[in-house]
Amino acid sequence: SQQGEEDPQALSIQEGENATMNCSYKTSINNLQWYRQNSGRGLVHLILIRSNEREKHSGRLRVTLDTSKKSSSLLITASRAADTASYFCATTSPPGNTGKLIFGQGTTLQVKP
């Protein structure tokens, strides 16, 4: 079964606005990763946040992790039309540490120019 549930399923904003996507998961995790997928393309890794971290930044991206609530958020600031894509969270969980990723259903983001 899928680990992550993402919210909202779809988001439409104007260029320059901020976009926030949320991800919830069910079991304990090793880490949580966010990926972007442009239509019909492969996945691009955005950011990895470990279970003992609370916040991480990368350029216009800010990711938070709340392990007590089993949730994470991805904030894209000053959005651009090129940010239009689907965004997925994915987790790896103990035990076993095989590294397999459990993906959420994704949030489809449309940034209007």
Distance CA 91, CA 73 (A): 13
Which of 20, 31, 67, 77 is close enough to bind another protein by CB under 8 A? 31
In the complex, least distance from residue 34 CB atom to another protein, rounded to whole angstroms: 11
> Strand pairing partners for 85?
109
What is the total count of residues that contact another protein (CB under 8 A)? 30
Query: 49-88: which residues touch another protein (CB under 8 A)?
Result: 50, 88
The separation between CA 3 and the C-alpha centre of its own chain, rounded to angstroms, equals 13
Comparison of 1 and 113: residue with beta carbon closer to another protein: 1
* 1 CB burial (10 A radius; 0-12, 13-18, 19+): exposed
- Among 14-22, 33-41, 63-71, 72-80, the segment contacting another protein (CB under 8 A): 33-41
The separation between CA 30 and the C-alpha centre of its own chain, rounded to angstroms, equals 15
Comparison of 44 and 81: residue with beta carbon closer to another protein: 44
110 lies in the binding site for another protein (CB under 8 A): no
Minimal CA–CA distance to 63: which of 94, 105, 91, 39? 91
Contact residues: another protein, CB under 8 A: 2, 4, 30-31, 33, 35, 40-45, 48, 50, 88, 90, 92-94, 96-106
